[in-house]
Structure 1
Amino acid sequence: MIISPPFLPAVGVSSNDAFSTDPLMDAVDKYEQDHGIYPVALDRRRHTGIHLKSDILDQRVHAIADGEVVAYRVCEFAIDGGDSKADSNAGFVLLKHTTETGEGRALTFYSLYMHLLDLDSYPIDVTKQQLPEFLRTKSPGGNRDELLPPPAQAGNGLMKVQRKDVLGLRGACQGWRHLHFEIFMTKKDFDEYFGPTQLGKEQVVTPATSDYWGHSYFVIPEDTQFFPLPPDADANGKLGDIAFEKLQVDKNKATLYVEAWFHKGQKYTKVWRDEGNGQLRLLTMAQPGTDKSGQPLERLQAQAEKDYEYTLYDRAMALYKTCPSDGYELLRFGRILSKSDKLPEGERATWMRVTFDDDKQGYVDINNAKIKKLSDADFPFFKGWQKLDEANGPFDADGLCDIDALKALMCNAKERYMPEALARTESGKKAEALARYVRTTKGVREQLRGFICEAPSEWDSSNNEQRFGKLKAPGEHFEGDEKGYGNLLKRVESLQFWDETGLTPGEKLWFFHPLAFIRHFRKCGWRSLPELAQMLPRKSSVEAGGLIEWGTAVDRWQDGETSKLGFMPPNMYLAMNRMWPKYGFTDPQRQAHFLAQIFKETGALRSTVEYGGDNYFRTKYEVLTEQEAGAAFDSLKAKKKAVKYSREDYIKMRIAQARQKAEELENTQPGDGARFRGRGLIHLTGRGNYRKYGRFRKSDFTTDPKCELISTDAFVAADSAGYFWVSKWMVSKDIGASRGGRNISRRADLGVEDDNVHAISVPVNGINPNGPVARKQFFRYANFILGDLPSMPADRDLVRQTDDSQQEQKK
């Protein structure tokens, strides 16, 4: 899923913060306002969204993901927010988003953008042409004299938007400038997606499926043995030529919860100890200063292992000789996710460096069956996820929060000083207590982000009497004031729109803290078929892909292609989603760099096999005769091409080049040139490279017809490209966009400029890579689709790929 927040501030989009895994979300988190806390407003009522206010006056509001319009309202003027003043905006858009995980599981959710600015108030210098067509014309109805908005309009699924489309500008509610923003799911959609996860389960288990994404988590039971070195290490602390630093030996005194992740080549680990009574204590809490690699510890609060990810291939080859591919997954995930694992059980020890007590670290074998292994796909409870329904939530039947119940949910019963309440009602006293608790108790707002709450929508009028009826009770605001209460309901109902959504009135929904939801799913890395189809531009330079219709883009990812230009196996989109997490393509920048290279290598996904006849491959990768070299020279001269060699010297040079190429590729037998032609998404070429990949996978790809699997099997074609990427050794000084060492991600992590694309193209295609313009164009486009830049880079040859059914709405 590709998802982003509704605001795209430049400070987050272009950040070079090496220590932040998601600088855009860090920036948008600062926009959350105190007067719109999730999931409880400070008057104790449910508040199933948040209020966002950016520091940019005319900040655009963007769609967070591709979706269809469920309902909307476009206002011409501001409305009465309750004080007989035109101080509020009632414009909104409700979107439905449907994607899938790459494992065949659907995820359907809704996003709501409320209080969008009315058209009359748009600044002169802000063009409405950025809006989709349906948002440029005011909705019919409304009452300017009474300052009441027009009724909402149904989308009926006929209008679609793409992620980052502008939906409007943020408006105001009762004079407060902000966007009210929600994300929710219906009960059916929620159960379908979250049923297989471990949300709400305190007795977690290692999943039996390969549905893994995001960070890894390990639950280590108490009394687990930690070692100063892996038991089989030699006297120098080496195991399979991999050096291990000597640590401490002991057993942990309580359950440990370990979080591990990779970022820009580094491996980071956080550890919490279970202190009982629902309290977890962070053991990796760092003191001010820097670690050995110069990273600020007070920011990370995690132990860092420099360049660990970049060297995973070397570790896997040294530690898991029987099947390094399986070992590679053990080192990355803590378990083998491949469906055809080949590494014997007795060879799966995976020694991980873990803090197990104050100032104590040791090595533990996380392959131990007693250690539970999870990921962000499981929504583990110890990361703060809590599923709150009516039975275990802090709200009563009126939708009012009970502060004591909220404290209990947070395992925080500490009493706080509360002066005599200034409010005149009992309800006001409780609201004051709640406000003080949320604002002054450290960590409460952060913990509230993990609450996933079942509740009715405030935009559903069928819930009004339940929500507001108590206001007529003795001592409350509308006691004996039926007219005032009626005016309140009139204003509330003028904003509500549930009748136009097609959703069931009165049905309870599951709500998420919107920014927590977005931040979490931005780690998923999987892309749905429609999202991958968007990666191929509708139009690009002829050297890149030329004209690619939507249906063609979908077919190339899903059905493959067989033509005179080559062969592309079916189900490549599934293979890509399986390959990406294994080889660390988990962020948009790496994915965009990878796609730019494979699009050029495969002719925009038209062939996973190098095109040419047997004689072509013989002369290119095997042997060249004197007659053939001479004919080549004569052809150049006939075309009046400049050749700086004599005919005799040219023949010698070309024969020597062919011989050298054959030696480099280890093509030793007649026919090897054609047999081991370039195959896969990044064309693996030559007997030697087929043999090395086979050793990695514990499979022989040098025999017919198995060598053809690298091009005919989508999963092998994708996996071989990931293998090529992480195993590639680059000889280079660490200057500018170039980096030396193993793993092309060393260069992909450096930046998004043309120099970065060229630096990556060299290890993929050679010192003078072919199609340099196409590779750069493919990258700029893929980086826009995957990344958070609000506008596509200027390029007259580029046109964004769009589902044909959306064309009418994109005029």
Structure 2
Amino acid sequence: MLISPPFLPPRVSSQTENQWIDTAMPGGEPGNGAYPVSYKLSWHGGLHLRAPARSDGGVEPVGAIADGIVVYRRGSTEPPAAPTPEAPLGYQGRTSDGVVVIRHETETGAARQSSIPTRVVFLSVYMHMHTLRATVQPGRRIHRKDELGQAGYIRGQPHQIHFEIICDDANLRQLIGRDSGIVQLTADGRSDAIFGELYFHLAETTPVYAQCPPRIQSRPPGGAPLGEELIVGLRYAEGEGTESTRGHAYVTKYRLAGAPLGEALPIPDAEYDIYRHATEISEAYPANARPAPSAVFELLRFGRVVGPDPLVPVDVPHWRLIRTPAGTGWVNLNAQGVHKFSDADFPHWRGWLLITDIDGDSLCNDATIMRAVDVNRDGTITADEVHARLDAPAIQSFLKTLICKLPTEWEAATIEGRRGWLKTPSPSNPKPLQEEQFARLRSHIEALAFWQQANLHLPQYNAEGQPVGERALPNTHWHFNPREFIRAFRKCGWLSLPELARLIPRRISYTQHGQLRTASNVGQVSRAAATTRLQAYALHLNLVARKYGISSARHRFAHFFAQTIIETDRWQVVYEYGRGAPDRRIPMAEYYAAFYGRGIMQLTWAGNYESYGQFRNLPMHRGAYVDRRIGVDSNHYWCDPTVRDADARILKVAGIPKRWAPRFDPNVVETDAFMACDSGGFYWVRKYLSKSGAEININRAADDDFSPRTIGRVSVLVNGGGNGYYERQAYAQYARRILLDTTEVGATQDYLTPRNNVTVRVDYDEPN
């Protein structure tokens, strides 16, 4: 899911992701458009957000939060001058009535060993728009960050919108894995969607050790019981933080009620070094009983195995240092009885609770919320109590992660049933509305209502998660705090096929050696062609990017995908042209020959194939190889065997070839879609960043500032830097604009590259 806030102010380098989201979505304070209740305990299904100010004196426009289809539009009917207080749109101050509703269809993952993605559909509602762009029309496709218009007035306050995110029961199950209750701790959480922080439920009898036990011992003697039931959280930095902490992991201990116990314990460079640690753990076992490093990698990355390689033995330990009442201690997060979850489960210990309105009116009477605001626990909630409690930071924190099933406030036919209680005095409503006042409120709501005209529909799903038709969205449906919804799903790097297809540029255009090379009618890639090319690989590409921590940070995926574009000739092939035949343009081809480049990163040389086979524990091959250059007793070079002079001219061949058989057939790296993608992720995370071998993982390089210099370094690490250097620069910048939160809108943009000071011109036009 590719998602962003409706306002996109610039992000300064010192801001964290959470700080930037708060800056981009200000507003929604208690008594002024808070979620999910007002000072009168009236349900409020969205947030009132203020458009952030711009440096030019204006304010940020309202943008689409994700790709989607406009399903409803109503332009503002405000008169040129502010309406009178008696007018429907003048009630309690000038209020704008422009509205846009967008239907978003995307994915958040896929079930284990399944080709069925977890599809989700939800609606975003932008209310109180002052102006709408003419391009925003029902039925028209819109992209994330596309401008919708300008925020309007809410009760006399300018530059504000009411913003909602809503869905039905079926799509709530797709989004959070359930539509009632809390996460059950008796089994692992969902495996179709896994993102964000990982969680491990530990029983009070879980043994804790003062020193880290041997790598392969799952329950050595001498441990002391934990003494309390709790949750351990494991979070990878995923490129966030300072230059020295972007690859860290952090271990936090939580009570079941959700309160963290002490500061998180950092593990320096733990994310960058998962491959190295997985290999070390595997090699600690006897040679004839080693678990596949690939499976151990997933154990460290997700806390469990979610890919095709089984973990054998199943009790490979996952040791982590946690805080204990006595200080710190080591626990095995893969011990029997430990169940695993992630932020994709929307767990209750992080505050995610489902609330259902019982009687269908707009007055909150939910027992969970009532207990939170009833200060003296006397069962009677006064207006003063409500004000005091809703202003308390702890209560605001509690309310923001409630997912509430409420009636819409935008339906005209149900105003009396939803709002009639405002005419009745109560402790929380000591000043009820008189009939004349209620009539004015009614006319105000009627002027803003749009529900009947919108006729919104959402898909339903069968037990396998496949859409089986649609039905109209009922007027009572699920609401999220929009700020927290966006915050949560920005951790999900999984992209739908249409989102992936947008990343392939429609045409090539760049400046090289002072001349503009514009392939305006050569090599064009239509949207349909891009979709077709990625169709067989989209699922596997997502699985691999998630596994190797590439998609969890969108700047990493921009680098990664840009490299695959040229390695696969814009996703037309997953093999090297020429297939290793002697070629004067590629002098090394005669040495790697049958071990020519295959997969989305063109794995080349027998040595790299051998390492990939060892990583996956691929079985030995029996019978003939597809490429007849490989035989039962044929010998091949593991790496470049040549000795060269300062000008890279070959002086002699000094390497000694070795026999390949009976290792696996390298042809599967081309013909198996998962291996084609997985081999690319494998290469990415095990790549040495320097000859010293001290640092590995191209994510480490990609986490530097997104610049031509960094793109150049990543390109050199992938390909040596010679083939398609300038195209790689252009492709990375193209992907950056789509994936990141930049707001450039020009059809072209120039970037000065560090190699020969060549300017690359990136063409952002997107024809059909």
TM-score, normalised with respect to structure 1:
0.75
Q: CA deviation at 1:305?
A: 0.7
Larger radius of gyration: 1
- Counterparts in 2 of 1:700 and 1:201: CA distance versus 1, 3 Å: closer
What does residue range 359-374 of structure 1 map to in structure 2 within 5 Å?
360-374=327-341
The answer for the alignment partner of 2:525 in structure 1 is: 548
- Counterparts in 2 of 1:506 and 1:523: CA distance versus 1, 3 Å: closer
* 3-state SS, counterpart of residue 742 of structure 1: coil
* 3-state SS, counterpart of residue 453 of structure 1: strand
- Counterparts in 2 of 1:801 and 1:704: CA distance versus 1, 3 Å: farther
- Counterparts in 2 of 1:690 and 1:117: CA distance versus 1, 3 Å: same
What does residue range 617-636 of structure 1 map to in structure 2 within 5 Å?
620=586
CA contact (8 A) 1:5 1:518 kept: yes
CA contact (8 A) 1:216 1:374 kept: yes
Q: Quote the Cα distance in structure 1 between the aligned partners of 2:190 and 2:308.
A: 11
* 3-state SS, counterpart of residue 749 of structure 2: coil
The answer for the alignment partner of 1:568 in structure 2 is: none
Q: Quote the Cα distance in structure 1 between the aligned partners of 2:500 and 2:210.
A: 46
The answer for the alignment partner of 2:162 in structure 1 is: 180
Q: CA deviation at 1:95?
A: 0.9
1:729 to 670, 688, 696: 688
Q: Quote the Cα distance in structure 2 between the aligned partners of 1:251 and 1:369.
A: 14
The answer for the alignment partner of 1:779 in structure 2 is: 732
Aligned partner letter, 1:727: R
What does residue range 123-134 of structure 1 map to in structure 2 within 5 Å?
131-134=133-136
What does residue range 91-106 of structure 1 map to in structure 2 within 5 Å?
91-103=98-110, 104-106=117-119
2:225 to 251, 254, 273: 251
The answer for the alignment partner of 1:166 in structure 2 is: 147
The answer for the alignment partner of 1:401 in structure 2 is: 364
TM-score, normalised with respect to structure 2:
0.79
Does residue 24 of the first structure (1) align with residue 20 of the second (2)? yes
Q: Quote the Cα distance in structure 1 between the aligned partners of 2:309 and 2:180.
A: 25
Does residue 329 of the first structure (1) align with residue 292 of the second (2)? no
Q: CA deviation at 1:772?
A: 1.7
CA contact (8 A) 1:89 1:118 kept: no
Aligned partner letter, 2:260: L
The answer for the alignment partner of 2:545 in structure 1 is: 580
Deviates more, 1:209-218 or 1:251-260: 209-218
2:613 to 689, 694, 699: 694
The answer for the alignment partner of 2:407 in structure 1 is: 456
Q: Quote the Cα distance in structure 2 between the aligned partners of 1:253 and 1:775.
A: 55
Q: CA deviation at 1:784?
A: 1.0
Q: CA deviation at 1:704?
A: 2.4
* 3-state SS, counterpart of residue 418 of structure 2: helix
What does residue range 230-245 of structure 1 map to in structure 2 within 5 Å?
230-232=212-214
Q: Quote the Cα distance in structure 1 between the aligned partners of 2:418 and 2:77.
A: 29
- Counterparts in 2 of 1:9 and 1:366: CA distance versus 1, 3 Å: same
CA contact (8 A) 2:40 2:383 kept: yes
Does residue 214 of the first structure (1) align with residue 135 of the second (2)? no
Q: Quote the Cα distance in structure 1 between the aligned partners of 2:473 and 2:102.
A: 18
The answer for the alignment partner of 2:351 in structure 1 is: 384
Q: CA deviation at 1:43?
A: 2.1
The answer for the alignment partner of 1:33 in structure 2 is: 29
Q: Quote the Cα distance in structure 2 between the aligned partners of 1:701 and 1:596.
A: 34
Aligned partner letter, 1:376: D
CA contact (8 A) 2:295 2:309 kept: no
Deviates more, 1:572-581 or 1:184-193: 184-193
The answer for the alignment partner of 1:669 in structure 2 is: none
* 3-state SS, counterpart of residue 443 of structure 1: helix
Q: Quote the Cα distance in structure 1 between the aligned partners of 2:444 and 2:249.
A: 53
Q: Report percent identity of matched pairs.
A: 31
The answer for the alignment partner of 2:455 in structure 1 is: 502
Q: Quote the Cα distance in structure 1 between the aligned partners of 2:309 and 2:579.
A: 34
Q: Quote the Cα distance in structure 1 between the aligned partners of 2:297 and 2:136.
A: 50
- Counterparts in 2 of 1:615 and 1:480: CA distance versus 1, 3 Å: closer
Q: CA deviation at 1:132?
A: 4.5
Aligned partner letter, 2:376: E
Which structure: greater helix fraction?
1
The answer for the alignment partner of 1:596 in structure 2 is: 562
- Counterparts in 2 of 1:21 and 1:225: CA distance versus 1, 3 Å: farther
The answer for the alignment partner of 2:322 in structure 1 is: 354
- Counterparts in 2 of 1:96 and 1:431: CA distance versus 1, 3 Å: farther
Does residue 720 of the first structure (1) align with residue 679 of the second (2)? yes
Q: Quote the Cα distance in structure 2 between the aligned partners of 1:210 and 1:696.
A: 24
* 3-state SS, counterpart of residue 445 of structure 1: helix
CA contact (8 A) 2:360 2:406 kept: no
Q: CA deviation at 1:686?
A: 0.8
Q: Quote the Cα distance in structure 2 between the aligned partners of 1:217 and 1:787.
A: 28
Does residue 676 of the first structure (1) align with residue 595 of the second (2)? yes
Q: Quote the Cα distance in structure 1 between the aligned partners of 2:255 and 2:156.
A: 46
Q: CA deviation at 1:596?
A: 1.2
CA contact (8 A) 1:781 1:792 kept: no
Q: CA deviation at 1:604?
A: 1.2
- Counterparts in 2 of 1:761 and 1:710: CA distance versus 1, 3 Å: same
Q: Quote the Cα distance in structure 1 between the aligned partners of 2:742 and 2:255.
A: 40
Q: CA deviation at 1:5?
A: 0.5
Q: CA deviation at 1:227?
A: 1.3
Aligned partner letter, 1:87: R
CA contact (8 A) 1:525 1:587 kept: yes
* 3-state SS, counterpart of residue 415 of structure 2: helix
Does residue 109 of the first structure (1) align with residue 111 of the second (2)? no
* 3-state SS, counterpart of residue 508 of structure 2: coil
Structure 2 gaps of 5+ residues are: 111-116, 238-245, 284-289, 457-471, 510-516, 627-664, 751-760
Aligned length: 653
What does residue range 523-534 of structure 1 map to in structure 2 within 5 Å?
523-534=491-502
Aligned partner letter, 1:781: Y
Aligned partner letter, 1:378: D
Which structure: greater strand fraction?
2
- Counterparts in 2 of 1:535 and 1:363: CA distance versus 1, 3 Å: same
- Counterparts in 2 of 1:31 and 1:537: CA distance versus 1, 3 Å: farther
Aligned partner letter, 1:260: L
Q: CA deviation at 1:486?
A: 2.6
CA contact (8 A) 2:598 2:604 kept: yes
